Amino acid sequence: MNLSRIPISAWIGIILTSAFAFVAVFAQVIAPYGEGQIVGGLWEPMSAKYWLGTDNLGRDLLSRMIFGAQTTLFIAAAATALSFCTGSVLGFTAAVIGGWIDQALSRFVDLLMSIPTLIFALVILAVLPANTLTLILVMGLLDSTRVYRLSRAVAVDINVMDFVEAAKLRGEGHRWVIFREILPNALSPLVAELGLRFIFMVLFLSALSFLGLGVQPPEADWGGIVKENKEGIVFGIPAALIPAGTIAALAISVNLVADWILNRTTDLKGGRGG
Amino acid sequence: MADKDKGLLLDIRNLRMEATAYPPDGPPHDIVIVDDVSLTLKRGKVLGLIGESGAGKSTIGLSSMGYGRGGVRITGGEVILNGRDILKGGSRQLRKLRGKEVCYVAQSAAAAFNPAHRLMDQVIEAALVHGVASREEARKRAVVLFEKLGLPDPGGIGERYPHQVSGGQLQRAMTAMALCPEPDLIVFDEPTTALDVTTQIDVLAAIKEAIRETGVAALYITHDLAVVAQVSDDIMVLRNGQTVEVGETAQIIHEPREDYTRALVSVRSIEHKEKKPAPKPLLSVDGVTAAYGGRGGVAVLKNVSLQLSPGQTLAVVGESGSGKSTLARVITGLLPPYEGEVHFAGRQLAPALAQRSRDDLRELQMIYQMADVAMNPRQTVRNIIGRPLEFYFGMRGAEKERRLAELLDEIEMGEGFADRYPAELSGGQKQRVCIARALAAKPQLIICDEVTSALDPLVADGILKLLLNLQKIENVAYLFITHDLATVRAIADSIAVMYQGEVVRYGTKSEVLSPPFDDYTDLLLSSVPEMEIGWLEKAIASRRMESAGN
């Protein structure tokens, strides 16, 4: 791969995304104060001591943001990984085996998709104990329906190609066909989709936290920080806008990377002509 | 333009066309597609452009409209049409010229017509846009053209939509579309390549007749020398974007000067001695009837019975839709028949793929028409050929490498190819790798489904020679599915002619190819273009006589 051929927009995306990832991984090292540590008065303005000011309980907002990045990105990444593993394996299986397995899986997925995801998640989370594992499972499994649809569609296209038929004529089992013949050729659209789904996860998690069913205080996460500080907006205090803006920045930078990957490799013949 | 009737129409001088290549590893760079090509065309004459894929023939054809397809740029030379250099004018001038002075007939008429509009509206569109004729005049002219081109119901066919007429009719309608604005020049880009051989002859005759009657000049692009010999006055042979040879049709056919042209003319001159059928057949298909969509579906194969002796070649011939590929699907088990049986090496094969033993699968291999989709683009040649070795024989490590090298040697490719991906191979090399993959299983029978149809004549020739050679060494039998009778003559020991799902003629090669013929075989045989000037007229005349006799 030639570095000079990466467009400027993709560079911006790559740099910002890796910066977010770096902050999330090393939160404990970078954050100037503890996650729940009360260090000053309510909603103190930005200063040399508190770069982003303090929040509604007098905690350092920058530290909350940094710990929030860790929580948010970790849960979103784990849920995305779960949704991709389940969704793509089931989607490929449905496409390759076909018949009643395909019908059963597809209709079940249709059923799940017919219920608005947020409402469905709210109902489930209200019943189940609120912890990180439940959150990841609920978010991951609900979102895997989208991944299932995409991977089934891609796999159906690949499944009718002669090289897959050749493998079947050779007597290869479903496992080989799915993982050796179809998966490598379906990777490009799936990788691009991965970026988009990750961002939807961040938004989904933030929405849940904002509604009080996501990450529970005192643990910090971006949606939660918006919720805690939303009253401040009336008094002209920007504490709620900072996490909101950060969510937007992350969404855009990940999308820039995803767009570039999607552009580079879209078809089965291994990238655009030439 | 006083000399409008006799003079020079098109004069291309030192044409150079370039495109930018974007290799995956390395910076983009310009490549030359057409290099210093000059040609002249007089009014009312037909020049045939011939060459294999990548020779630049379509690119040159389109340059006469000042057009470069897919990012190809004209970077040098002059294209003088009707006395002025069309490359000097802007896009406005080109727009005036295209569809009025020069028209284009594409290879796939089905893709070139808009499926949402009636034929008539599309045929007269160019004439209306350029103000050549009023709507009424244009419609009248179109009807006359439909008649000249031999379309049924010339008055009413224009009201149909593209999907309501056959492929051959659509190709003729497209010729009518090109002729309607009364252009000076028509560029025919492989107009009959996508058609069945029995349809091709009619379309070819219609095109020739229309050219003669309207006096339009034409550039006729094709890879088939026998076809171009029927329609053109002069022929230009191209290779890698350069002119190999230009001359009158008779000279090119009978006294080619260059080695490359000689090779093109003498292609398919493989001599193959027919073998007698063995007493015990290797493959025997007995009374097979099959349909898509189960018993209630439309029967694609009707009571088909065939036999193939060990180490011999059975050619299955027929036009598209005759059921020949379905026969292959039945034999391989992809489509279980609902009547009849398939016996192989003395045992009955299970109807469905899933019930067959691994040995059944191993001994029956398949090679596909499109080699580039028959190989996983994400696997190297080593993995593609190596997998059957692992899968059937459990070979690993050095043993596998040794066998791999042997196979690569058998298909006349070096070990250096082992680490390449399919995208890094040429069309002929891809097909060779597919052959090696089939051979790796040490099969007794290989089904070859149109394996040479997508290849250039010279490359196809090499593949056929390789297959014949391998048959001698490995004693493998071929079931060779093709629509090309020249290929059949070259390699078959016995032949089955299929028509609408039935075997209409079956026997050894000499039996099938000698009279008396049944009607369909006769039609098929007489439709194959021969490398002989005036063949088309003779074939059409004999066909008329026959139908008059009936």
Quick check: pTM over 0.90?
no
Give CA–CA dist B312/B477, Å, rounded: 5
Q: What is the pLDDT of residue B255?
A: 85
What does DSSP assign to residue B501? T
Q: Do the domain assignments include residue A161?
A: yes
Query: CA B372 → CA A153, B245, B416, B434, B455, distances in Å?
Result: 22, 32, 19, 9, 11
Q: What is the pLDDT of residue A272?
A: 35
Q: What is the CATH number of domain B8-265?
A: 3.40.50.300
Q: Which amino acid is at B498?
A: M
Question: Helix, strand, or coil here: B25?
Answer: coil
What ranges do the domains of chain B cover?
A: 8-265, 283-514
* pLDDT above 70 as % of chain B: 96
The angle that helices A222-229 and A241-264 make with each other, rounded to 10 degrees, is 150
Q: Do the domain assignments include residue A274?
A: no
From chain A, pick out residues whose CB is under 8 angstroms from the CB of B372.
269
The answer to whether B8-265 and B283-514 have equal CATH topology is yes
CB–CB contacts below 8 A, A to B: 60
Indicate yes or no: CB of A2 within 8 angstroms of CB of B23. Answer: no
Phi, psi of A236, deg, nearest 5: 75, 25
Indicate yes or no: CB of B25 within 8 angstroms of CB of A181. Answer: no
- For residue B331, the chain A residue with the least C-alpha distance is A169
Q: What is the CATH number of the domain that holds A102?
A: 1.10.3720.10
Low-confidence ranges of chain B (pLDDT < 50): 1-5
Domain span at residue A135 reads 3-264
Give CA–CA dist B451/B374, Å, rounded: 11
Q: What is the pLDDT of residue B267?
A: 65
B21-36 CB burial, b ≥16 within 10 A, e <16:
eeeeeeeeeeebbbbe
Please write the tens of the pLDDT for every residue from B188-244. 998 887 778 888 888 888 888 888 888 889 999 988 888 888 889 999 999 888 899
Q: Do the domain assignments include residue A235?
A: yes
- For residue A5, the chain B residue with the least C-alpha distance is B27
From chain B, pick out residues whose CB is under 8 angstroms from the CB of A184.
376, 378-379
Give CA–CA dist A252/A196, Å, rounded: 10
The closest alpha carbon to B496, from B348, B308, B342, belongs to B308
Low-confidence ranges of chain A (pLDDT < 50): 267-274
CB contact set of B345 (below 8 Å; sequence gap of 6+) = B282, B363, B444
CA A233 to chain centre: 28
Give CA–CA dist B65/B17, Å, rounded: 14
Q: What is the pLDDT of residue A213?
A: 84
Q: What is the pLDDT of residue B547?
A: 67
Mutation target among B364, B376, B380 for the A interface, most CBs of A within 10 A: B376
From chain A, pick out residues whose CB is under 8 angstroms from the CB of B25.
1-2
**Which residue among A2, A172, A185 places its CB closest to the CB of B378?**
A185
Indicate yes or no: CB of A169 within 8 angstroms of CB of B23. Answer: no
Please write the tens of the pLDDT for every residue from A92-120. 999 999 889 999 999 999 999 999 988 99
Indicate yes or no: CB of B377 within 8 angstroms of CB of A270. Answer: yes
Indicate yes or no: CB of B374 within 8 angstroms of CB of A169. Answer: no
Say which CATH architecture domain B283-514 belongs to. 3-Layer(aba) Sandwich (3.40)
- For residue B370, the chain A residue with the least C-alpha distance is A162
Other C-beta atoms within 10 Å of B74: how many?
21
Report whether B198 contacts B524 (CB < 8 A): yes
CA distance A263 to chain B (A): 14
Q: Do the domain assignments include residue A273?
A: no
The contact set of A with B (CB < 8 A) is: 1-2, 161-163, 165-166, 168-172, 180-181, 184-185, 268-272, 274
Give CA–CA dist A54/B322, Å, rounded: 79
Four-residue CA torsion sign, B502, B507, B509, B510: negative
Q: Which amino acid is at A169?
A: L
Provide the ipTM: 0.76
Please write the tens of the pLDDT for every residue from B354-389. 889 988 899 999 999 888 889 998 899 999 999 999
- For residue A187, the chain B residue with the least C-alpha distance is B378
- For residue A181, the chain B residue with the least C-alpha distance is B376
What does DSSP assign to residue A46? P
**Continuous segment of H or E residues that includes residue B12:** strand B8-21
Indicate yes or no: CB of A169 within 8 angstroms of CB of B366. Answer: yes
Sheet holding B217-222, edge to edge: B102-105, B185-189, B217-222, B46-50, B234-239, B242-248
What does DSSP assign to residue B441? T
Mean of per-residue pLDDT scores for chain B: 86
Q: Which amino acid is at B205?
A: A
Report whether B389 contacts B400 (CB < 8 A): yes
**Continuous segment of H or E residues that includes residue B290:** strand B283-291
From chain A, pick out residues whose CB is under 8 angstroms from the CB of B391.
170-172
What's the number of domains chain A is made of? Answer: 1
Report whether B373 contacts A167 (CB < 8 A): no
- For residue A173, the chain B residue with the least C-alpha distance is B354
Q: Do the domain assignments include residue A253?
A: yes
How close are the terminal C-alpha atoms of chain B, in Å? 51
From chain A, pick out residues whose CB is under 8 angstroms from the CB of B334.
165, 168-169
